[in-house]
Amino acid sequence: MNLLPVQSSAAHKTPSVAVKLLCQHPAHAAKQHQTVSQLPSSTPALRPLMADMPQMCGLRAGMPRGQGQHDRARPQPQPDYSDQHPLARLVQQAQQAAQEAEEMNQQQQQQRQQQQPTPPGSEDAPSHDPSIPWPSPAALTDPLFQDLDRTSRYYLAHFSERVCKDLVVRDTPENPFRELIPLTRKHPLLLQILVATSAIHWSNIFRRVTEIPAGLTNPAGYLSLLRSKDLVTRQALIDALTAKQKAMSHMREVLDTLDPAGSEVALAAMHFFIKFDLIDLDKSDNQSWRAHLEGATSIMALLNPDSNPDASSRMLRDRVITDSFIYNILGSTLTSGGLAARVARQAFQFLPVMKRVELTSYLSCPPEILNIILSASELSHEVPWTDQSLGAADKAIALIDEALAVDIPAWADYLRQHNLVQDLESRVCLAAAHRSAACLYILQALPLVRSVRSIDTDFLLEDVLRNLAAIDENDPYFKASSWPTFVAGAETRDPEKRTWTLARLLSIWQICPWGYLFTAIEMLKATWAMQDSRGSDNVNWLHDLRGMGFENLIV
């Protein structure tokens, strides 16, 4: 059935001139005087953590990664499925998910002998944390859900009332992701993966920790430990793993008979497998997102670009495809494989889809900049790090010139023509931050550029920080700024700016409780420890993070 609709060089400017183009725009000029220090360092709940931030971040020279009571082990080698089709890898994960769920069920039964937990969705559950937007009784008794068990009804209601808000900048009754809920009646695959995603999200926000201890070296491990000890949140985690295992089984059945019509349902489900990985605090398998992205890429190749469904279904389909495409692009920036090359083959087909969605885009990054990031990722895997050929250097320089030539004020004028566009100032600043962050990324991915041209990286870094500082915690686009925040944090050597980027990521967690933010924090701490121990300005943080096994998705 139709679930989702799909359709399928600028003149050279020096960095100092091209980046200053942004300052000509009135929206940016009003914010130009702001500095990094003017943005609140953290929410009140996070200030105890920030009190000892230099020690927590490993700013002491030579501090090895991994100190601390709750530190997570370094990423372990994952099974090699390179000889399998990307979709076949998903089948391998079903057994692992089933085993995890079974182990947790056994431990849960032992604990129940001592204490009876309150099941998710019970009437007295809201009393544990009044700040959680619990689903209304009407949501739990909607006729749509009556054929489901109470637990599934609860999690679908939570998905509708809470998870969907995280997936868009501004939540409205027209939120396209809610259109997936009625489809769960006909598609068990969608039902189970939405339940799994909702349950893992719920486990992150129930009895939320309001203060993270100062000096904590691994916030994700600390929160994961608390979650595992709480019987209610532990039950939600079991529900999430159980539903995910069922979804994996249904996915295997769908893939066995995959056709263009069924690919729409499969892509939507794969989309939420990725979101599950992004939300989960536990990163014991930090490569599962790659298998899901590769699967989504293979499924997207089956989609019919000429399909013409109704407007609401087209909006949902476009959004799912755009999000998947963005995940592929940003995922390719930190990986060492050929993900970028696979995505690039579909870029021409799906860039028109991204143009349709950019008016309401969560990321607020012009598609042209995303395409430049993708090209840089692809080129970085084609050109050896030791290659100093002029041809490769010229291609890298051309990408930087192309990025700097993106006219943000003109892009803003295009958005201004549509009355539905809100928060234009924030979108301009976020787009500019992505542009300068993209240039900094190119310099890391293609370091040969430095041998033929001097680039003012300090100016680019300050431009990222200045534009991010103009988007505060009350701005709807604040939660969409993690990627440029991460790049800026990895680039800076200044302790104050390091602390600021870390505080910003923690503040995003308070608004959008997704576990990938702690992955970004862990990677930053590893980068800073590496930089401080070497004492050199020539540390390539991207190359070294890949060498340490960090190949994560930061969105």
% of the chain exceeding 90 in pLDDT: 33
How is residue 509 written in tokens? 């967690």
The whole-angstrom separation of Cα 197 and Cα 310 is 27
What is the average per-residue pLDDT within 133-148?
61
Task: Using pLDDT thresholds of 50, 70 and 90, give the confidence band for residue 442.
Answer: very high
Of the given ranges (23-37, 110-124, 458-472), which has the lowest mean pLDDT? 23-37
- Identity of residue 425: E
CA of residue 279 relative to chain centroid, distance: 9
| Higher per-residue confidence, 200 vs 256 | 200
| Cα angle for residues 386, 519, 240 (degrees, 5° grid) | 130
How is residue 44 written in tokens? 């009140």
Is it the case that residue 127 has pLDDT exceeding 60?
Answer: no
Looking at residue 432, its pLDDT comes to 97
Contacts with 99 (C-beta within 8 Å, 6 or more apart), sequence order? none
- Cβ atoms 462, 393 nearer than 8 A: no
Of the given ranges (96-110, 199-213, 280-294, 503-517), which has the lowest mean pLDDT? 96-110
The whole-angstrom separation of Cα 97 and Cα 460 is 43
Note the pLDDT tens digit of each residue in 471-498: 999 999 999 999 999 999 999 999 999 9
Looking at residue 64, its pLDDT comes to 34
The whole-angstrom separation of Cα 390 and Cα 124 is 68
CA distances, 309 to each of 1, 165, 314 (Å): 11, 25, 6
| Higher per-residue confidence, 44 vs 287 | 287
Looking at residue 381, its pLDDT comes to 78
Task: Using pLDDT thresholds of 50, 70 and 90, give the confidence band for residue 268.
Answer: very high
Is it the case that residue 259 has pLDDT exceeding 50?
Answer: yes
Of the given ranges (74-88, 430-444, 491-505), which has the lowest mean pLDDT? 74-88
Note the pLDDT tens digit of each residue in 63-72: 333 333 344 3
Looking at residue 164, its pLDDT comes to 95
What is the average per-residue pLDDT within 73-89?
44
Looking at residue 270, its pLDDT comes to 93
Is it the case that residue 91 has pLDDT exceeding 60?
Answer: no
What is the average per-residue pLDDT within 23-46?
38
- Cβ atoms 199, 239 nearer than 8 A: yes
The whole-angstrom separation of Cα 33 and Cα 461 is 16
Contacts with 330 (C-beta within 8 Å, 6 or more apart), sequence order? 373, 483, 553, 554, 555
The whole-angstrom separation of Cα 503 and Cα 356 is 34
Note the pLDDT tens digit of each residue in 523-552: 999 899 889 988 766 678 888 888 787 777
Is it the case that residue 18 has pLDDT exceeding 50?
Answer: no
- Identity of residue 100: E
Q: DSSP labels for 498-544?
A: HHHHHHHHHHHHHHS--THHHHHHHHHHHHHHHHHHHT-TT--HHHH
Task: Using pLDDT thresholds of 50, 70 and 90, give the confidence band for residue 177.
Answer: very high
Note the pLDDT tens digit of each residue in 332-380: 888 766 665 666 666 667 777 888 888 777 888 998 999 899 888 888 8
What is the average per-residue pLDDT within 284-300?
77
What is the average per-residue pLDDT within 401-408?
95
Note the pLDDT tens digit of each residue in 189-211: 999 999 999 999 999 887 666 56
Q: DSSP labels for 291-337?
A: HHHHHHHHHHTTS-TT----HHHHHHHHHHHHHHHHHHHHHHTT-SS
The whole-angstrom separation of Cα 245 and Cα 96 is 8
Looking at residue 25, its pLDDT comes to 36
Position of tokens 């220090």? 37
Is it the case that residue 301 has pLDDT exceeding 80?
Answer: no
| Residue 396 three-state SS | helix
What is the average per-residue pLDDT within 36-44?
40
Selection from 74-83, 264-273, 355-364 with the highest mean pLDDT: 264-273
Sign of the Cα torsion 372, 378, 384, 388 reads negative
275: alpha, beta or left, given left = phi > 0 and alpha = psi -120 to 50? alpha
Q: DSSP labels for 423-454?
A: -HHHHHHHHHHHHHHHHHHHHHH-GGGGGT--
Of the given ranges (3-7, 123-127, 408-412, 551-555), which has the lowest mean pLDDT? 123-127
User: What pTM, to 2 d.p., does this model score?
Assistant: 0.75
CB atoms near residue 57 (< 10 Å): 22
Looking at residue 465, its pLDDT comes to 98
CB atoms near residue 159 (< 10 Å): 25
Looking at residue 21, its pLDDT comes to 29
